[in-house]
Amino acid sequence: MNIALIAHDKKKDDLVQFVTAYQATFSNHTLYATGTTGLRISEATGLNVHRFQSGPLGGDQEIGAMIAKNQMDAVFFFRDPLTAQPHEPDVTALVRLCDVYSIPLATNMGSAELLIRGLEQGMLEWRNIAKRNSGDENGNKIV
């Protein structure tokens, strides 16, 4: 499965610790992340992480494009609700796309724990069915 990893600055440590704790699970999936977050996760865990731009420079939108093309299966986005974000419209758009396309989204440690446990237990296999029903792995409709 394709998994996005994103964290606001004050939540990056939390996400790095979370991925480190569940490194064995994450190693079975293809990981994508925004710039600095991806670098920190890769350095801490040795996992291969495809890095996009940082969030304020368009990384959130790059992940959003994958969601819109049915190429992302889950999103771990540790948000900082107490700090204003200069790219808040992009953040809102990403969360909206997860809702539109029914992509599981964890925005804090509690929901991330539930999502990772579901992933470990195969509870997201419906995503494979959804991808088969919508087209190929690139989101192209099969006629």
Q: What's the CA gap between 139 and 36, in Å, rounded?
A: 27
Task: Determine whether 60 is an active site residue.
Answer: yes
Strand-pairing partners, residue 5, are: 33, 76
CB under 8 Å to 13, separation ≥6 — which residues?
none
Q: Fill in the DSSP letter of residue 63.
A: H
Tally DSSP H helices, then E strands, for the chain. Answer: 7, 5
Q: Which residue in 60, 73, 80, 99 is the catalytic one? A: 60
Active site residues per annotation: 60
